[in-house]
Amino acid sequence: MGRLRDKIVLVTGAAGAIGSATADAVVEAGGIAITTDLGGSAGMDHALDVTSQEDWLRVIAEIERSAGRLDGLVNAAGIAAAGSVEDTDLATWRRVMAVNLDGTFLGCKHALPLLKRGGGAIVNLSSVSGLVGGHNLAAYNASKGGVRLLTKSVALHGARFDPKVRCNSVHPAFIEGAMADALIAQTKDPAHARERMSRDIPLGRFGKASEVADLCVYLLSDESAFVTGAEFVLDGGLTAR
């Protein structure tokens, strides 16, 4: 308790598995979560399409008016699309890049003026797919690899301010929830695919959104004050071999 006492944290994709678990964990740690997702998502504080610069400017202006500061940002909104480089059409490529990479860029860019005021921390959801390739994840791999290096550039920029703004990336493997379910549903034999994917993970299971959320709390908290530009892999050992 109290690890994020009174810290105000904006979470994108907060109707999803990892975003909602992170918002809950922020509150449990004594912070204030500002939840955002696409319009129409129930229970959110703001509608925010991360690909829309206007939406970012509007939501940040509202936070500035109501709170006057921001202490943390978790860029959790994201989409996955299966497809090799040959199978992926340009519209799908652009959509995945727009949500996963443009959305993270716009979030970092427009939250920084508020984060700089009192110092803060950004957590960007990349993926193991931002570290290693998959034959059928061309657009997703490219977008998450982009998030990994964008994070380092933002970290180096944020390190020049006083107070500091830190920025780190998180790289989960399969996490229980809608995104993994949707990818598995696209395979020829979903039951077999889920079993094989679990077997591929040395720890023998999918991850939980709450486990990603716990890592986000650490990265948002002052416990990680010397941690920036780093990559945190949460994959049950998948990329260890």
**What residues are annotated to the active site?**
140
Instruction: Examine residue 45 and tell whether it contacts ligand NAD (CB under 6 A).
Output: no
Which one of residues 9, 11, 12, 106 is an interface residue with ligand NAD (CB under 6 A)?
12
Contact by Cβ (8 Å): 144, 100:
yes
CA distances from 143 to 34, 79, 111, 180, 227 (A): 25, 10, 20, 17, 23
CA dist 15 and 166 (Å) reads 25
| Residues 133-158 as b or e (16 or more Cβ within 10 Å = b) | eeebbbbbbbbbbbbbebbbebbeeb
Which of 23/180 has CB closer to ligand NAD? 180
Strand order in the sheet with 46-47: 46-47, 32-37, 8-11, 72-75, 120-125, 165-172, 231-234
Which one of residues 175, 184, 213, 217 is an interface residue with ligand NAD (CB under 6 A)?
175
Could you tell me where the DSSP H helices lie in 129-208? 138-158, 178-185, 190-200
Report 178-197 residues binding ligand NAD (CB under 6 A): 178-180
Instruction: Examine residue 79 and tell whether it contacts ligand NAD (CB under 6 A).
Output: yes
Instruction: Examine residue 37 and tell whether it contacts ligand NAD (CB under 6 A).
Output: yes
Pairing between β-strand 8-11 and β-strand 32-37 as defined by DSSP bridges: parallel
Shortest Å distance, C-beta 160 to ligand NAD: 27
Report 196-235 residues binding ligand NAD (CB under 6 A): none
Instruction: Examine residue 150 and tell whether it contacts ligand NAD (CB under 6 A).
Output: no
Q: Which stretch binds ligand NAD (CB under 6 A): 3-11, 35-43, 64-72, 152-160?
A: 35-43
Instruction: Examine residue 112 and tell whether it contacts ligand NAD (CB under 6 A).
Output: no
Q: Find the residue with minimal CB distance to ligand NAD.
A: 16
Which one of residues 10, 44, 50, 215 is an interface residue with ligand NAD (CB under 6 A)?
50
- Local structure of residue 225 (DSSP, 8 states): T
Biggest CA pair distance of the chain: 53
Shortest Å distance, C-beta 127 to ligand NAD: 4
Residues near ligand NAD (CB under 6 A) are 12-13, 15-19, 37-38, 41, 48-51, 76-80, 99, 103, 125, 127, 172, 174-175, 177-180
